[in-house]
Structure 1
Amino acid sequence: MPTPTMHRAKDGTETWKVRYRTGGRGSKATSRTFASERAATTFARLLADVGADRAEQIADARAGAREGTPTVAQWCAKHIELLTGVGETCLRTYRGHVRNDLGELGPLPVDAVHPDDVARWVNAMAKEKVRGGKPISGKTIANRHSFLSAAMKRAVRSGLISSSPCDGTRLPRTEREPMVFLTHEEYLRFLGCFAPRWQPMVTTLFSTGLRWGEITALRVGDVDLQRRDPITGEPAPVATIERAWRRDGTVGPPKSRRSRRTVALAPEVVEVLTPLIEKRPAYDYVFRAAGGEEVKHRTFSKDVWAPAVRLANGEPAQPEKGRVTVPRRADGEPITPLSPALGKRPRIHDARHSNASWLLGAGVPINYVQAHLGHESITTTVDRYGHVMPAAQQAIRGAISGALTAAHPQIEG
């Protein structure tokens, strides 16, 4: 970074000069003079961070602006400090954005950021690669942009800038991995690929649509298998979702306000849960790993779910490279690959998708499905699962058919 030098005029006035080159070594040297060391140091940092051309543009744009304006990184950090009602996991994610994701925006003064800078930042993220060489997801880009936008709106309210440079940014959209829906018959075949000790948990995943963090945080006291409907007196067993595992390895409130909910349990689920919760303390987790500890996603995915997916698709449980425990039946014999193969490779979260498709396929109103899944907005439910609503599809087919029937005979082959 260039070092500012101080010059004192005959009248005692001090100025600070920064010398730099607009190109590489051997290019013509130039300089800029500032009224304070602080302003000169800010410009010197910009030279080091964004290059001469961009630093000059920013300096010109900020001519006459007040000194001491924070950089984007500094302002975002202050924004995080002032947030209320936000959990530590979310705050940790935001701090990670400040450290790792602001790119060339980070060192820019807040009042020097132009919408074009935000657009270049978004385009640069769209070219990023994650583990495995896949492009970064559109959702990740949207999350980072949303964080920066919130910080910039605070800057507007604080009088640092007149408008947010994030407004109007068009965000890229990337393809999502398609959801995998299992039919009832496919689910039963898939369930048979798990060792008996894991089948109750898999059954509960598919039958309740719980998120991974919710089912692994479910305690014995959250499950009421003896509950009866207060009006009819009929059995009405439920599980109350009060907590979920977070990314930082702690247990806290679930994902959103509507994620706190009561989930109905089918008689088949009651049957598999009864021996798991009988005579166990209320604070104990319903599902535990072999060693008694909580079930970890990474371990379950690698050692339990992935072998079952391979078996369901007619493959050996153990991959060519690596070692896993081959699941066994109750009699101790290894579970053999399915034939014919399932032809689908569901992920753990696809149990939740399958549950939604079963409910909608059975004609359960979509607002009931929203409450069952704990979606904050019904828009989320419609966007994700609207295409699996047979009644809606049938209505569309009928309407189109009615519109075409009169004209159809007129079409000449």
Structure 2
Amino acid sequence: MASIVPRPKKSGEITYQVKWRQDGSWQTENFGGEEGEAQAEQFRQLVEAHGNRWPYGWVKGHGFVEPDTHPDDVDLITYAHQYVDKITGIDERTRQDYKREIDRHFAGLLVAQADGAEERVGGLVHTPAGGGPAVPATVCNVTDDDIKGWIRAQEQGVPHPEKEGEWLRRPASPKSIANRHGLMFCVFQAAVDATKPLRGDNPCAKTKLPRQDDGIEEEMTFLEHDEYARISACLREFDPDAADLADFLVGTGLRWGEATALQARDVNLAKRTISIQRAWKRCDEAVFKLGPPKTKKGRRTLALSESQVEMLRRHMRGRQPEDFVFRGGMGKAWRHANFYNRKWKRAVDEAIKRGLTKRPRIHDLRHTQVAWLIEKNIPLPAIQARLGHESITTTVDRYGHLVRALDGEIAAAVEAAMGAPAPRALQVV
């Protein structure tokens, strides 16, 4: 329920503040002047009529303002770029990624039309409530329905107008849509929370996103032991060192950027451990630098098997402390694109010719390691620590569905508990 709180000033004037809770936080709007109390009462009733939310079209401090005539309105893409420029605590590569998402998916795809003109398709636009052609999106004119239309456009993709079966932009995965929607939400929330708010509500607040488990194909590929053995054998036929790196990835569950950043000083052969202290970070399309692991818990120590120790011992012969353990051509650290195109893809293609029915990515070796650990009943908290996940929730959400090997043990434990004889009643002597 909204309430009105009188706020006397030193001058003797009284300001009437309408106050209510929306989504767990307090919201206020002030009214002054001769009709302040009556205006506050009208606004209070409007708030309650809208389910204790800001009335549609009302902007704090301005009142009801037509979206296309708001005095401080600004183009959405411009505002989104300004928002990203102000984010703290992220590296420049992440900032560039956000801006690229804004340009590609907020603004849409720039395509040539039959008359030679160019048009953006698939981006966020505003469709007036009374009908009429869509107009460019601004911070103030976007509605809930506009966001829903933008989500549907990503789900459906943009078919090629002249080539049947081809796409200008393929349908996006539920995960990609959720990531873009999350960025869009933050941009609009910044407009709501600004010192001088541009709008009273966030049009992304109640969007129903596509379920991330509705796809026909799983995003992650898990390899059985014999399936990976086929790939490893093919890889070893033409590059044993590349096969060692792949074996190390699947045997440790390390991220690509962690394994290829491993230096000789990070390996303790006596204790049979490795220490993960750094990972490769991409600054732009072709420039990489060393930085901290992906999460705080990414700094971790992993135990090694005897065969892994022997493999590392071979690769570390003659290495200086800061030399990379795994190196490609010219003695430099491997780059993902080079390894994938020159080694991994070739080995997978050959394995498919020999009967493999899956086409895994390099990152699927990390997923495969988890599947193998779960198969051996390793607890998820231990897997979380090995993978360097910041939260157990990440581990459970991503891999919890694989924990089926424990079904027999759980059923047996329940059966034993339910079938145990009831304890005898205590007798008072």
TM-score range, shorter chain: 0.5 to 0.7
Compute the displacement of 1:397 (Å): 5.4
Hey, which of these two has a bigger chunk of strand by percent? 2
In the alignment, is the contact (CA less than 8 A) between 2:298 and 2:390 conserved in 1?
A: yes
**1:376 is the counterpart of 2:399:** no
2:176 matched residue in structure 1: 140
Match of 1:177 among 215, 218, 226: 218
Compute the displacement of 1:182 (Å): 2.9
Match of 1:163 among 201, 205, 210: 201
Mapped to 2, the partners of 1:220 and 1:99 lie a distance apart of 41
Q: Tell me the amino acid that sits aligned with residue 188 of structure 2.
A: M
1:67 matched residue in structure 2: 71
**1:151 is the counterpart of 2:190:** no
In the alignment, is the contact (CA less than 8 A) between 2:70 and 2:140 conserved in 1?
A: no
Matches within 5 A, 1:258-273: 258-273=297-312
Compute the displacement of 1:167 (Å): 0.3
Compute the displacement of 1:296 (Å): 2.2
Match of 1:250 among 288, 294, 301: 288
Q: Taking structure 1 as reference, are residues 344 and 126 closer, same or farther at Cα in structure 2, changes over 3 Å only? A: closer
Mapped to 2, the partners of 1:81 and 1:180 lie a distance apart of 36
Matches within 5 A, 1:7-406: 62=66, 66-102=70-106, 103-105=123-125, 107-128=136-157, 133=167, 134-158=170-194, 159-173=197-211, 175=215, 176-195=217-236, 196-226=240-270, 235-246=271-282, 248=284, 249-251=287-289, 252-313=291-352, 315=353, 341-395=355-409
TM-score, normalising length: structure 1? 0.68
Mapped to 2, the partners of 1:121 and 1:129 lie a distance apart of 12
SS at match of 1:200: helix
Q: Taking structure 1 as reference, are residues 61 and 400 closer, same or farther at Cα in structure 2, changes over 3 Å only? A: farther
Q: Taking structure 1 as reference, are residues 397 and 310 closer, same or farther at Cα in structure 2, changes over 3 Å only? A: farther
Mapped to 2, the partners of 1:192 and 1:61 lie a distance apart of 68
Q: Tell me the amino acid that sits aligned with residue 141 of structure 1.
A: I
Mapped to 2, the partners of 1:95 and 1:386 lie a distance apart of 33
Q: Tell me the amino acid that sits aligned with residue 147 of structure 2.
A: V
SS at match of 2:234: coil
TM-score, normalising length: structure 2? 0.65
Mapped to 2, the partners of 1:98 and 1:312 lie a distance apart of 39
The structure 1 segments of at least 4 consecutive aligned residues displaced by more than 6 Å after TM superposition are 399-402
Q: Tell me the amino acid that sits aligned with residue 246 of structure 1.
A: R
Q: Taking structure 1 as reference, are residues 73 and 346 closer, same or farther at Cα in structure 2, changes over 3 Å only? A: closer
CA-based RMSD of the aligned residues comes to 3.1
Q: Taking structure 1 as reference, are residues 247 and 355 closer, same or farther at Cα in structure 2, changes over 3 Å only? A: farther
The number of residues matched between the two structures is 313
Gaps of 5+ in 2: 1-63, 107-122, 127-135, 161-165, 417-429
Compute the displacement of 1:100 (Å): 2.3
Mapped to 2, the partners of 1:137 and 1:63 lie a distance apart of 32
Q: Tell me the amino acid that sits aligned with residue 382 of structure 1.
A: V
